[in-house]
Amino acid sequence: MPQVGTGGCANTGGTTIGTVKDDTGAILCNLAAGGLYFGGAGVGVPLPSTVPDQGSSITKISSCNATTGALTLAATTDTDTGSNRTCTAAGVINPEYPGKTGCLFGPPLPIPNTNSAATSTCVVNRISTNASGAANCKDGSTSLLSLPLASDIYLTGPTDGLIPCPRCAGTPTTCQAGPNTGQPCTPADSASLGAAYPTSHDCPPAAAAFVGSLPIGFNLSSGTQTRNSADLSAQPFVFCGFCGQEFAPNFQGPPAVPCTSDAQCTNTTFPKCRQRTSGAFGQGPARTITENGVPANACISDGAKHNSTLVSVFCIPPAFNATVDSAADLPGPGAVGLPGQAQFLP
C-alpha cells in the first residue's frame, strides 16, 4: 500500500493503476492502488491519502444466469451479515454514531495534512443508498457496484493533528483518543499503513468535530474508468462543475448544484459552472483521469478468494466548511483504487 505523499499528485509506492494526463496525452502523474486522490490543482493535502486495507463489504445475489455467469448484485442488511460494518444497505442504525444511518463502508479514514496539521480530518463513510450492481461469477469481473456514500467529515486537526482519527492500539488494544478513550477495541486496519493507523469504529471521533457530510456517487468497477475535463467560461480543465461565483470560490447550497454548463446555473448569485480550482490532484492542465481496475480473472463460484481491484473516478461537492474546502480544494474530482479479494459465499 502507498504511504501518504509529500504534496500534490505523487505515487510514492505501490502499484500504478491509473494516470492523470494533459492535452497531449503526456502523463502528469501516476495513480497508485490503495490511494485516495481528491481536489483540483490547488489541493493542499499531500496525496494520496492511504485507504484502510481491511474493510469488507458484502452484497447478495438477486439473480444469476447459469449460462453466462451474469450476476445481479443487491444490498445486504446488518441482519444478513451480522454487522453494520460489513453490510451494504442504507437506513441501518449505527450505535457508534447516534443519529447517523447506513451501513459503514470501511474503517474510519484518516486524512492527515502534513502541510497544515490543523486541517487534518477523519472521514467516516456510510452507505446512503442501497448497493446495486452487476458482476460475473465466471470471469470474476464487476461491471458496476453502485455504493453511494455519505462521507462524514470530522475536522479533528485542531486537537489531534496528524493522527486525526482515534487510534486503536496498545497491549491490550484500547482507544487512544476520542469519546471512548481507554475502552477496549479491535483494530480494523493495519498499523503498517502509517502513524495515523490502526483505526476502528470502536473508537469514533468526537461528535463535536463533525462539520458535515459529503454525498459521493461511488460507482466501482473492475474495468477502466475515465473522466475528461471541459473548458468552461469561468475555468478550463473542469472535471466536476458546480454552480458558483466566477471570481470567488463560493458555491450555491447546501446542497451543492452540479452542472456541466453555465446554462444549468439559474441562480443569478451563482451563475458559473466551475470547480474551486482547475485541474486534478495538484495538476493544473489536467485533461484526463483514468483508473484501471483488475478483475479476478477466475471463476469466483468456487468459494475461494481471488485478487481483484475495484476503481472509481467521481466528483466531490463542497463541504461548505472554509477550512476543509480550502485544504482539500473542493469541489473537485476524486479517484480511488481498492485492491482486495472477491469471494463467493453460500
Q: What is the DSSP string of 67-101?
A: TT-EEEEE---HHHHS-TTT---SS-B-TTSTT-B
Could you give the CA distance from residue 158 to residue 278 in angstroms, rounded to a whole number? Answer: 28
Could you give the CA distance from residue 23 to residue 199 in angstroms, rounded to a whole number? Answer: 40
For the chain, residues with pLDDT lower than 70 are 1-8, 10-14
In this prediction, residue 12 carries a pLDDT of: 52
DSSP letters spanning 135-184: EETTT--EEEEE--EEEEEE--HHHHTT--SPBEETTTTEE-SSTTTTSB
Q: How many CB atoms lie within 10 A of CB 275?
A: 32
Nearest to 291, CA basis, from 2, 37, 23: 37
In this prediction, residue 37 carries a pLDDT of: 97
Could you give the CA distance from residue 24 to residue 28 in angstroms, rounded to a whole number? Answer: 10
| pTM assigned to the model | 0.94
In this prediction, residue 5 carries a pLDDT of: 34
In this prediction, residue 345 carries a pLDDT of: 78
